[in-house]
Amino acid sequence: MHSLIYLASQSPRRSQLLTQIGVAHALLLPGPQEDAEALELALPGEAPVDYVQRVTRLKLEAAVQRHAQRGLPPGAIVCADTTVALEGVILGKPHNGADAAQMLAQLSGQSHQVFTAVAVASGAGRWAALSISQVQFAPLTPAQISAYVASGEPMGKAGAYGIQGAAAAFIAHIEGSYSGIMGLPLFETAQLLRSAGVLD
């Protein structure tokens, strides 16, 4: 390892995934004065693949400014964003339990796409990659949906589920990157960090 690596994400899963591949990192989280949620607003008619890459770029530039403002030691900054889409429609983070239940009912018995964009900044350099996976949900009963929503797990997660949690029991098949569906595609992330010269 050649330099510090900062992870600009509030997701504990992204931090765990970086640690899994041996990448030591410090968290670079938004301050109370930053409106991180505002960066995640979709534009009217925006395609999921465009949305996830645009939001990741915005998050990265916000993190670069945050790093400079805080006077932190130099280092590479990693950002990512994950979007779930069903037939081209973005399913964001649920607003409440009813919203989560509605999303899960839509996903039930269907195949959907998970887009995770990842971007790295180091000095003036910028590198980005995109992971696209397909996830097939088994048909869910109303009781299964209610119990899962009641667990609280869907909250704060795109598409109202986390593949690494209890929802794994609903997923019949995946094609693509398991870590990408979790929120940080490790193969692509490692490639970007090598390109940035901060990973051997």
Residue 169: both structure tokens together = 């029991």
Amino acid at 125: G
Mean pLDDT of 105-113: 98
The residues spanned by each domain of the chain are 4-195
Q: Which DSSP helix (H) or strand (E) runs through 113?
A: strand 111-122
pLDDT in tens, 174-190: 999 999 999 999 999 99
Check: CB of residue 124 under 8 Å from CB of residue 112. Answer: no
pTM of the predicted structure, to 2 decimals? 0.93
**Tell me: the pLDDT tens digits for 149-167?**
999 999 999 999 999 999 9
Fold of domain 4-195: Maf protein (3.90.950)
Instruction: Tell me the per-residue pLDDT of 65-91, one tens digit each, with 9 for 90 and over.
Output: 999 999 999 999 999 999 999 999 999
200 is catalytic: no
Catalytic residue among 35, 50, 81, 99: 81
